[in-house]
Structure 1
Amino acid sequence: MNRAFNRKRDKTWMHTPEALAKHYIPYNAKFLGNTEVEAPKGTEVVEDAVRKLKFQRHIKKSEGQKVPKVELQISIYGVKILDPKTKDVHHNCQLHRISFCADDKTDKRIFTFICKDSESNKHLCYVFDSEKCAEEITLTIGQAFDLAYKKFLESGGKDVETRKQIGTLQRRIQELETENSELKKQLQDFEEQLMMVHGSPAGSISIQTQSTDVFDMVPFSPVTPLVPTQANNASPPPPPTTLPPDISKDLFGAEPFDPFTCASADFPPDIQSKLDEMQEGFKMGLTLEGTIFSLDPLDERC
C-alpha cells in the first residue's frame, strides 16, 4: 500500500484545505515540455512520454538551449504553469481534466501528470524536473483533486445527472404536447368534414329514412357510416358544437407538466455542458501513484 493511499485514508494531507481552496501552493520546477499520449492513464504511458521529452531536451541542450524554469500554482481550481518572472500563464490545467499524476521512482527529480486538452480533447503528458519536491508536488495535486471533487458535490454537482434526466423528460413532454395539438387539429378538421357531408346549409343534420327491423331499429351494416340518424318524424338534434382547441391544456383539460417549476435551479446550456464535463472528469478519477480517487469511495484501490 503506497504512501498516497495512506494519506487519502487518514485524511492527513500536507496542506490545510484553506490553503488550496482560498489560495494556492506554489512550486518551482523545470519544464521538460508536454507531448500527446494515447491513453489517459498508465505508468508505461508516462514512461514513454518521459523518455521522449528527455531525448528532445538532450538535443536542445546540445544546441545551447536551457530547460525553462516555471512556477506551478496548485489549487482546487487546477494547476497553473507560469513564467516565474513575468507570471504569464503558459498552461492552465483544470483538475477534473487531470487523470494521472506520478513521480518517477527511478528518477526522484521527475514528476508527470496527464491532462486532457480543453480545445483538442487530446491527452497530453506534462513532464517536470524538480530536485527536491517531485513527490510532494504529486501529493499536493492529489489533495487538490480530492478537495475539488468534494466542492463540486457540495455545489450541486450530485444533481447534474438528475437535471439531465429532467431535461430529457421535458423534451419528451414538449414532443407529446406538440403531437397532442396536432391530433386536436385533425379531430377538429374531421368534425368539420362530417358536418359538411351530413349537414344542411343551415347547419342542421339531414333526416335520412332507412328501413328498420321489427324492433324499429336500423339494421347493422358494416358499410353504414357511424353517424347519428333520427327515426321517422323525430326532431333533429342540435348541431354539434366544436370548440377551438386550447393548446395550453391536454386532452383531459390539465395543464402541461413542467418539471422545472418544481425542480432545482435550471442552468443555461453552456453551464450545464460544463457541469456535465466536470462530472465525467471526476468520475474518471485521478490515479495518484496507483491510487484511484473517484466519486465512489468503493473504487479506491491500490
Structure 2
Amino acid sequence: MNRAFSRKKDKTWMHTPEALSKHYIPYNAKFLGSTEVEQPKGTEVVRDAVRKLKFARHIKKSEGQKTPKVELQISIYGVKILDPKTKEVQHNCQLHRISFCADDKTDKRIFTFICKDSESNKHLCYVFDSEKCAEEITLTIGQAFDLAYRKFLESGGKDVETRKQIAGLQKRIHELETENMELKNKVQDLENQLRISQVHTSPAGSVTPKSPSTDIFDMVPFSPISPQSSTPTRNGTQPPPVPSRSAEIKRDLFGAEPFDPFSCGAGDFPPDIQSKLDEMQHKSYFQLLGFFQNPWETPTTEFRGNFG
C-alpha cells in the first residue's frame, strides 16, 4: 500500500478545480464494508482491515450474498457513499475527518480510506473494490484534499469552521426530518384506530338525542293550543283516538240514520213540536237532578187490585 496523494506543488491532477469545488466527481464501486481500526493512519493498519473485510466478504459470498454496489461522490467537502438506485446517502465522510487514503499495489482493484466517525469518535476504515478505477479514485480524493487545503490557507482557517457548522446543521435537519416522519406515522395510526372504533360503535353504541318535544319523563308537555294532541301513557304507548259522534252513527236497513230528537237542530221541527221536546228534555233533566241529590230515597208506589 502507498499514500495516494501528496501536496507537492508540481502535482498534476485529473480534474479541474471547479469540478471538485462547485460540484462533485461520481464513481461506481463495490463496498466491502467498514471496520474499526486503532490508528488513524498507516499501511499496516489498512492492510489488516482489508484482510479482515475480504475474509468476511468471502463468507457472505458463500452464503449467496452479493457484494453491494455503491456510488461515490467526491468533492472538497468529503466523500459521500450512496445507493446507486435510490440515491440514499449511506455514509457521509467529511473531508477534514479523513486521515488516510491509499490503494493496494498488490491488488489493483482495492482502495481504502480511514475516517473518524462524528458520533462515536472511532476511526473506521472503509474498503472498496473497483476493477478499473481504484487508483483514479484515490487520486481524486487526493486532489480534493489539495484544493481544500489551499482554500483553508486563503480563508485563514475560517472555511473549516464554516464547513463544520454546515455539517452540524445538516445533521440536525436530518434528525428533524426523521422525527417529523415518525410523528406523521403516529398521527396516521391514531386516525386509523379512531376510524375503526367509530365503525365498531356506530350501530349499537350510538346515542339518539332526546326529542325536544318531550320532558325528562318522556312525556309530552301540556299545551292548551293543541288539546287534541295525543299524550303517551306511562309505558310509552299512544291511547286510541276518540271517535267523533258522526263516526258512531249507524244506519238502519234502509240506509237511513236513526231518529234522535236531542241531536236535531232547532230548525228541524215545527215550533209546537220543538216546544214539547224542550219541555220533555227540561223535565227529564230535573228528574235526574233530584235522583242524584237524594239517591237513597225510594218513591212510594201504590198498586190497586185484587190479590186473590
Q: Which TM-score applies when normalising by structure 1? A: 0.51
What is the root-mean-square deviation in Å for CA atoms of aligned residues?
Answer: 2.7
**Are positions 1:41 and 2:41 aligned together?**
yes
CA distance in 1, matches of 2:128, 2:3: 21
Q: How much does 1:8 deviate? A: 3.4
CA distance in structure 2 between the partners assigned to 1:70 and 1:138 by the alignment: 16
Letter in structure 2 aligned against 1:84: P
Name the counterpart of 2:9: 9
**SS of the counterpart of 1:9?**
coil
Cα distance in 2 between the residues matched to 1:80 and 1:68: 15
Q: Per-residue CA shift, 1:127-183, capped at 9, x if unaligned?
A: 0000000001001001101111222232331799xxxxxxxxxxxxxxxxxxxxxxx
The one-letter code of the counterpart of 2:143 is: Q
The alignment partner of 2:99 has SS state of strand
Q: Contact 1:82 / 1:91 at 8 angstroms: preserved in 2?
A: yes
Is the CA contact 1:41–1:114 (under 8 Å) kept in the aligned structure 2?
A: yes
1:117 aligned to 2:117? yes
Q: Which residue of 1 aligns with 2:81?
A: 81
Q: Which runs of 5+ in 2 are unaligned?
A: 169-308
Bigger RCO of structures 1 and 2 (CA < 8 A, at least 6 apart):
1
Question: Does the CA-based 8 Å contact 2:27-2:137 persist in structure 1?
Answer: yes
CA-to-aligned-CA distance 1:186-229 (integer Å, 9 cap, x gap): xxxxxxxxxxxxxxxxxxxxxxxxxxxxxxxxxxxxxxxxxxxx
Please, which runs of 5 or more residues in structure 1 have no aligned partner?
161-266, 275-302
Aligned partner letter, 1:143: Q
The amino acid of 1:51's aligned partner reads: R
Task: Provide the rounded CA distance (Å) in 1 between the counterparts of 2:167 and 2:61.
Answer: 43
* Alignment coverage as a number of residue pairs: 166
Aligned residues: percent identity? 89
For 2:107, the aligned partner's letter is D
Determine which structure has more spread, i.e. the larger CA radius of gyration: 2
> Could you tell me which residue of structure 1 aligns to residue 56 of structure 2?
56
Deviation at 1:32, TM superposition (A): 0.1
Question: Partners of 2:71 and 2:81 in 1: how far apart?
Answer: 6
Once the two structures are TM-superposed, the CA of residue 7 in structure 1 deviates from its matched residue by 8.0
TM-score by length of structure 2 reads: 0.50
Residues 138/155 of structure 1: CA separation in 2 closer, same or farther (3 Å cut): same
SS in 2 for 1:8: coil
The runs of at least 4 aligned residues of structure 1 exceeding 4 Å deviation read 2-7, 270-274
Is 1:65 the equivalent of 2:59?
A: no
Matches for 1:180-259 after TM superposition, within 5 Å: none
Q: How does 1:82-101 map to 2 (within 5 A)?
A: 82-101=82-101
CA drift of 1:11 comes to: 3.4
Q: Secondary structure at the match of 2:113?
A: strand
Residue 247 of structure 1 is matched in structure 2 by none
Contact 2:31 2:129 in 1 (8 A): yes
Letter of the structure 2 residue corresponding to residue 55 of structure 1: F
